[in-house]
């Protein structure tokens, strides 16, 4: 039998698998009671349009603060600014009295401008420039040292300006032996020597690390070892070596864990446009997340029956965390305007929707992955019906610029002028990689607040 390549076999996929994103009550209220306002904002301010919700961010911060208080710990939170560029979040940090973790002069300046005190700013990132080191030095910020040469440059700066640098030494986790970040055991010894011979220029305040996985065990064990290292350093005369920075990477739960498990079991290339496959996905349905993940870490038995929290309390060690994504959980969403729809249901079984914007807004594409929670059709967000199967592409000239390769079952036929809503985008899925490719202007951000159920929506452009 002859096969006609121009007429692909129509595959009956049945309904698309639903990965329904969690919705904070404030988000529900926005989508259901204020959909026409969102539509108007999107028409007025262009596509994509990012909505940011500082009230939700504040709730997330307070959840972490309550955990530290419950455990009787002096815990500090540094919001990892790289996860979102909106000014409203550092503003909230200043109000809440928490710090900000930055890795560039631009981020440092934004944190200061938001009202965050220099002492509450943490500076991370590899081999920091002289400008950034000097800024941190003058503002008495906490500098996470990533290499011996960086420490030597910092010491020289501190000595010449008669100041003292507040320093954490960043460790390369044993479980990440191929990471380019952090000090090895040999480099640590050299760094400690440097601190010893320049005690007036350096104040060693503790140790830091950042694990890219989500293992509670690895994080807790490393933290326990670094507490020991603090005690050794104290014995060597570094009396102020009392802090362990556990880094970021506290996971976020985007969808129901059971649904997530079922999704992974049935996932197959046929469910994606062009049979696309990926190297892996963020654990969107992780079971323990946010403040509960911090609880697990503090409860983790690191030696005998002693938990990390007990060990920290016993030795008067302060714990720092640097969450980005976890503080932004549910604190934003993104609207895209539908420009056109290629309805290929008859030939290929699904449609290709083109929106104004590009996949660079959803930075998972950076990791050869996909932001999987289902996009919603504004005005139809309550419906479970699936009448229209479609993937979503961006308005660029790249074939691979797809916001959603996966075929999504939408509750109504999609038409030009509709708005697609990607939920929970504040953590990395907004602006990490946005670019003015094709001379596109960067998208606006609108800060939205809802003071109570009955009240009107208040909005302003971010930064005003």
Ligand X SMILES: *Cc1c(COP(=O)(O)O)cnc(C)c1O
Give the residue numbers annotated as catalytic, written as ranges: 397
**DSSP-assigned beta bridge partners for residue 50:** 334, 445
Chain CA centroid to CA 143, Å: 21
E-strand stretches of 310-433 = 318-321, 332-344, 350-355, 376-377, 388-393, 402-410, 419-423
Which of 75, 247, 290, 409: binder of ligand X (CB under 6 A)? 247
Which element (helix H / strand E) includes 59? helix 54-70
Q: Which of 323, 373, 394, 409 binds ligand X (CB under 6 A)?
A: 323
Cα–Cα distance measured from residue 318 to residue 306, given in angstroms and rounded to the nearest whole number: 17
Closest CB to ligand X among residues 227, 294: 294
Among 23, 124, 216, 363, binds ligand X (CB under 6 A): 124
Does 325 help bind ligand X (rule: CB under 6 A)? Answer: yes
Under the criterion CB under 6 A, does residue 249 sit at the interface with ligand X? yes
Neighbours of 117 (CB within 10 A): 15
Q: Do the beta carbons of residue 420 and residue 375 sit within 8 Å?
A: yes
What tokens does 200 get?
Answer: 């007036």
Tokens of 276: 């696309």
Residue 326, interface with ligand X (CB under 6 A)?
Answer: yes
**Binding region for ligand X (CB under 6 A) out of 172-180, 263-271, 319-327, 436-444:** 319-327
Neighbours of 270 (CB within 10 A): 10
| Under rule CB under 6 A, residue 21 binds ligand X | no
Q: Which residues contact 367 (CB under 8 A, 6 or more apart)?
A: 279
User: Per rule CB under 6 A, is residue 80 in the interface with ligand X?
Assistant: yes
82 counts as binding ligand X under rule CB under 6 A: yes
Decide if residue 77 touches ligand X (CB under 6 A).
Answer: no
Cα diameter, the chain: 85
Of 318 and 343, the one with the shorter C-beta distance to ligand X is: 318
Q: How far is the CB of 293 from ligand X (least distance, A)?
A: 10
Binding footprint of ligand X, residue count (CB under 6 A): 15
Nearest to 103 by CA among 77, 139, 132: 132
The tokens for 313 are 């309390």
Residue keyed to tokens 């350093």: 233
What residues contact residue 219 under an 8 Å CB cut-off, 6+ apart? Answer: 211, 246, 247, 249, 297
Query: Segment contacting ligand X (CB under 6 A): 264-272, 279-287, 324-332, 455-463?
Result: 324-332
Q: Does 169 bind ligand X (CB under 6 A)?
A: no
Q: Considering the rule CB under 6 A, would residue 150 count as an interface residue with ligand X?
A: no
Of 99, 248, 332, 409, which lies in the binding site for ligand X, with binding defined by CB under 6 A?
Answer: 248
**Minimum CB–partner distance for residue 115 and ligand X (Å):** 21
Q: Under the criterion CB under 6 A, does residue 101 sit at the interface with ligand X?
A: yes
Within 205-224, which residues bind ligand X (CB under 6 A)? 210
Q: Closer to ligand X at the Cβ: 54 or 248?
A: 248
Q: Tell me phi and psi for residue 199, to 5 degrees.
A: -60, -25
Residue with tokens 């005998």: 304
Measured from the CB of residue 328, what is the shortest distance to ligand X in angstroms? 8
Residue 454 to residue 207: CA distance in whole angstroms: 48
Q: Which stretch binds ligand X (CB under 6 A): 112-120, 134-142, 244-252, 361-369?
A: 244-252
Taking alpha carbons only, the member of 94, 262, 241, 65 closest to residue 166 is 241
Residue range at the interface with ligand X (CB under 6 A); choices 78-86, 133-141, 216-224, 236-244: 78-86
> Does the protein bind ligand X through residue 22 (CB under 6 A)?
no
Question: Looking at 60-68, 75-83, 254-262, 297-305, which segment touches ligand X (CB under 6 A)?
Answer: 75-83
Binding footprint of ligand X on the chain (CB under 6 A): 80, 82-83, 101, 124, 210, 247-250, 322-326
């Amino acid at each position: 039998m002859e096969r006609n390549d121009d007429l692909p076999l129509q595959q009956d996929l049945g309904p698309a698998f639903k990965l329904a994103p969690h919705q904070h009550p404030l988000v529900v209220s926005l989508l259901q009671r204020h959909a026409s306002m969102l539509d108007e904002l999107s028409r007025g301010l262009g596509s994509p349009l990012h909505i940011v919700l500082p009230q939700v961010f504040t709730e997330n911060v307070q959840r972490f603060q309550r955990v530290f208080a419950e455990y009787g710990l002096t815990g500090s939170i540094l919001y990892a600014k790289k996860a979102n560029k909106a000014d409203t979040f550092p503003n909230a940090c200043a109000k809440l009295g928490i710090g900000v973790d930055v890795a560039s002069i631009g981020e440092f300046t934004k944190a200061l401008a938001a009202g965050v005190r220099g002492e509450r700013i943490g500076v991370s990132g590899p081999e920091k420039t002289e400008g950034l080191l000097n800024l941190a030095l003058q503002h008495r910020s906490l500098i996470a040292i990533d290499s011996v040469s960086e420490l030597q440059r910092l010491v020289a700066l501190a000595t010449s300006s008669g100041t003292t640098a507040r320093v954490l030494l960043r460790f390369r986790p044993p479980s990440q032996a191929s990471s380019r970040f952090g000090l090895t055991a040999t480099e640590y010894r050299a760094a400690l020597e440097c601190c010893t011979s320049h005690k007036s220029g350096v104040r060693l305040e503790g140790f830091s690390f950042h694990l890219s996985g989500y293992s509670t065990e690895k994080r807790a064990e490393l933290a326990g070892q670094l507490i020991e290292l603090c005690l050794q350093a104290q014995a060597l005369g570094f009396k102020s070596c009392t802090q362990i920075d556990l880094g970021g990477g506290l996971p976020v739960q985007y969808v129901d864990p059971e649904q997530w498990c079922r999704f992974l079991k049935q996932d197959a290339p046929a469910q994606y446009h062009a049979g696309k496959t990926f190297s892996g996905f963020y654990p969107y349905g992780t079971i323990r997340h946010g403040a509960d993940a911090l609880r697990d870490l503090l409860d983790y038995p690191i030696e005998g029956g002693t938990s990390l929290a007990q060990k920290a309390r016993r030795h008067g060690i302060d714990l720092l965390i640097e969450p980005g994504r976890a503080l932004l959980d549910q604190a934003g969403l993104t609207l895209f305007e539908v420009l056109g729809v290629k309805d290929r249901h008859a030939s290929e079984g699904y449609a290709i929707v083109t929106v104004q914007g590009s996949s660079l807004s959803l930075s998972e594409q950076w990791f050869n992955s996909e932001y999987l929670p289902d996009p919603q059709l504004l005005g139809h967000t309550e419906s479970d019906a699936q009448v229209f199967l479609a993937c979503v592409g961006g308005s660029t000239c790249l074939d691979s610029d797809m916001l959603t390769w996966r075929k999504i079952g939408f509750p109504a036929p999609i038409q030009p002028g509709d708005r697609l809503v990607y939920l929970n985008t504040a953590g990395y899925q907004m602006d990490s990689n946005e670019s003015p490719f094709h001379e596109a202007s960067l998208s606006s951000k609108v800060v939205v607040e809802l003071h109570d159920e009955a009240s009107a929506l208040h909005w302003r452009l971010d930064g005003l």
